[in-house]
């Protein structure tokens, strides 16, 4: 079955699966067509300014009060929420990991969530968590929603299908999806095994960054974001709904599928985006801009220019700058950087940072090209070079990212990561020429 999508970012969408199921000219008629219930899903306070006011109207077989019953506690011990501090002994450092191993036991998307870092405070609705998901089993009668934040999903291995109450998103590596806070969904696997990264955003929603002098085009263009058309199932079988709420998990049993929205309209909705449609802007003479030039989505913190989260990619691009050290420069940062590699090679670290791997460069901890990368870059013949077969990304936050016990003890952590800078030589010799031997 092919699922369809509507283009645009933050549009006021409307979609119906049955003719006339979406009320026109009003939100809450006395008797909605097809015997549907009208329900509003609010992603912002009612009184938020127009530019950030987000809500959708859902026309569904049963109202959501019928999609929860009495809750019982549920246990997902590897999915952590901030603050999650001091649960391991690992000393401070720059860290890097090989990929998180695939599970040996049957594991669905929710059970397969492994938190690597948390930042900020879930109760204060600030900060984020960075997770890796690994799964080998579809959710069939199990459903989930996250009251703690929206989920930015970055697949790295395998295609998946996010069957949400507002429509179906098919997603493969190279694409990303954002599922808003509170949205009910289940995850079906298209491929046998899947792995990817998730940024759980506790704060204000991800949005497109301003472009400033770049103008009205380039970077992520709004029309390349795709929101699913309505889709529903009428399934009267025992189902479960699990909720993540203030860091804890709760499960409730219901007698039917909660994915029963026949029509909806509004601007609070899930979406996907193909990273290949990102139009990068960069240096065309010398130096290069800060990596913020590659921001796909940003979640504001309330302080101007200081993001709760920036989602930044490092896409294929031409390097043409003259008399320039072309890889990312050495760097210390007030923002904390969680990086992943979807495929290919990252130019500052050609070895050791592998697809599915992770690196973490936290608040004010130094990082930059490894010794090999530095040597190669200062010796390079600076003709135009196409940096191809690469797609790295960064979840960057204003808050320090606290490593979880799972991340600290993960067997794929590279204990020798720090050694990647060991061979950087002293090149100062008191002469203007320096020692570039």
Task: For residue 43, give every residue at least 6 positions away whose Cβ sits within 8 Å of its Cβ, in sequence order, or none.
Answer: 54, 55, 56, 180, 181, 182, 205, 268
Using alpha carbons, list the distances in angstroms from residue 160 to 80, 134, 407: 23, 11, 24
CB of 388 to Fe ion, least distance (A): 23
> Which C-beta is closer to Fe ion: that of 93 or that of 103?
93
Nearer to Fe ion, 136 or 362 (CB): 362
Site for Fe ion in 61-90 (CB under 5 A): none
Residue 272 vs 361, nearer CB to Fe ion: 361
Burial code (b: 16+ CB inside 10 Å, e: under 16) for 309-334 equals bbbbbbbebebbbeebbbbbeeeebe
Q: Which stretch binds Fe ion (CB under 5 A): 126-134, 150-158, 272-280, 325-333?
A: 325-333
In the bound complex, what is the minimum distance in angstroms from residue 339's beta carbon to Fe ion? 9
- Closest distance between Fe ion and the C-beta of residue 330, in Å? 9
Cα 234 to Cα 226: distance, rounded to the nearest angstrom: 25
The distance of closest approach from Cβ of residue 373 to Fe ion in the complex, given in angstroms and rounded to an integer, is 14
Task: Pick one of 317, 331, 405, 413: the residue that binds Fe ion (CB under 5 A).
Answer: 331
Pick the stretch among 54-62, 139-147, 318-326, 336-344 that binds Fe ion (CB under 5 A).
336-344
Q: Which is closer to Fe ion, CB of 272 or CB of 349?
A: 349
Residue nearest to Fe ion (CB): 331
Residues 375-434 that bind Fe ion (CB under 5 A): none
Choices 11-19, 26-34, 35-43, 323-331 (CB under 5 A): range interacting with Fe ion: 323-331
Q: How far is the CB of 95 from Fe ion (least distance, A)?
A: 14
* Alpha carbons 211 and 105: distance in angstroms, whole number: 46
C-alpha separations of 290 from 110, 199, 293, 315, 340 in Å: 35, 22, 6, 14, 18
**Residue 95 marked in a binding site:** no
Sign of the alpha-carbon dihedral angle for 97, 98, 99, 104: negative
**Nearest approach, Cβ of residue 333 and Fe ion (Å):** 5
Between 53 and 292, CB nearer to Fe ion: 292
Of the residues 67, 288, 343, 361, only one is catalytic, namely 288
Residue 267's closest CA among 46, 60, 43, 47? Answer: 43
What is the spatial distance between Cα 329 and Cα 288, in angstroms, rounded to a whole number?
9
CB of 13 or CB of 311, closer to Fe ion: 311
Residue 386 carries which DSSP code? Answer: E
Q: Residue 371 half-sphere exposure, CB side, CA atoms within 13 Å?
A: 11
**Shortest distance, position 394 Cβ to Fe ion, whole Å:** 8
Which residues are within 8 A (CB) of 145 and not within 5 positions of it... i.e. 6 or more apart? 182, 183, 184, 185, 241, 243, 244
367 among annotated binding-site residues: yes
**Residue 340 and residue 358 in contact, taking contact as beta carbons nearer than 8 Å:** yes
Structure-block tokens of residue 405: 């016990």
Range in contact with Fe ion (rule: CB under 5 A) among 134-142, 262-270, 309-317, 329-337: 329-337
| Part in contact with Fe ion (CB under 5 A); list of ranges 37-45, 239-247, 334-342, 378-386 | 334-342
Catalytic residue list contains 256: no
Pick 107 or 324: Cβ nearer Fe ion:
324
Is 103 within 8 Å of 192 (Cβ atoms)?
no
How many Cβ atoms sit within 10 Å of the Cβ of residue 90? Answer: 12
Binding stretches for Fe ion (CB under 5 A): 331, 333, 337
Binding-site residues for homogentisate, in ranges, read 346, 367
Binding-site residues, in ranges, read 331, 337, 346, 367
Q: Which residues are catalytic?
A: 288
């Amino acid at each position: 079955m092919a699922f369809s999508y509507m283009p645009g970012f933050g549009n006021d969408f409307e979609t119906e699966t049955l003719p006339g199921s979406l009320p026109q000219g009003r939100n809450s008629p006395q008797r909605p067509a097809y015997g549907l219930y009208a329900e509003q899903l609010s992603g912002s306070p009612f009184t938020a300014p127009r530019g950030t006011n987000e809500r959708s109207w859902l026309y569904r077989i049963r109202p959501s009060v019928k999609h929860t019953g009495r809750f019982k506690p549920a246990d997902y011990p590897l999915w952590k929420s901030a603050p999650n501090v001091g649960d391991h002994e690992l000393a401070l450092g720059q860290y890097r990991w090989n990929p998180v191993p695939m599970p040996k036991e049957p594991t669905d998307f929710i059970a397969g969530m492994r938190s690597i870092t948390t930042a900020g405070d879930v109760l204060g609705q600030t900060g984020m968590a960075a997770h890796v998901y690994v799964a080998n089993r579809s959710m069939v009668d199990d459903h989930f929603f996250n009251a703690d934040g929206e989920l930015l999903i970055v697949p790295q291995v395998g295609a998946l299908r996010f069957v949400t109450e507002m429509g179906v998103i098919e997603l493969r590596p190279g694409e990303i999806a954002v599922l808003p806070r509170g949205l009910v969904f289940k995850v079906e696997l298209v491929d046998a095994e899947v792995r990817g990264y998730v940024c759980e955003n506790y704060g204000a929603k991800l949005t497109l960054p301003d472009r400033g002098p770049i103008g009205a085009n380039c970077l992520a263009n709004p029309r390349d974001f795709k929101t699913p058309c309505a889709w529903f199932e009428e399934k009267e079988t025992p189902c479960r709904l699990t909720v993540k709420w203030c860091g804890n998990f709760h499960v409730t049993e219901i007698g039917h599928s909660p994915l029963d929205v026949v029509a909806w309209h509004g601007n609070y909705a899930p979406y996907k985006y193909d990273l290949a449609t990102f139009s990068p802007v960069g240096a065309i003479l010398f130096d290069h801009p800060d990596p913020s030039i590659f921001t796909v989505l940003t979640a504001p913190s309330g302080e101007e220019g200081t993001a709760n989260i920036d989602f930044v990619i490092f896409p294929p691009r031409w390097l043409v700058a003259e008399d320039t050290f072309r890889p990312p420069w050495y760097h210390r940062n007030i923002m904390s950087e969680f990086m992943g590699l979807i495929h290919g090679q990252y130019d500052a670290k050609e070895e050791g940072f592998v697809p599915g791997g992770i690196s973490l460069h936290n608040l004010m901890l130094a990082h930059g090209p490894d010794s090999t990368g530095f040597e190669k870059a200062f010796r390079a013949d600076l003709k135009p070079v196409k940096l191809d077969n690469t797609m790295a990304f960064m979840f960057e936050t204003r808050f320090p990212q606290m490593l979880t016990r799972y991340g600290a003890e993960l067997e794929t952590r590279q204990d020798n990561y720090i050694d990647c800078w060991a061979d950087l030589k002293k090149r100062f010799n008191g002469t203007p020429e320096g020692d570039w031997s």
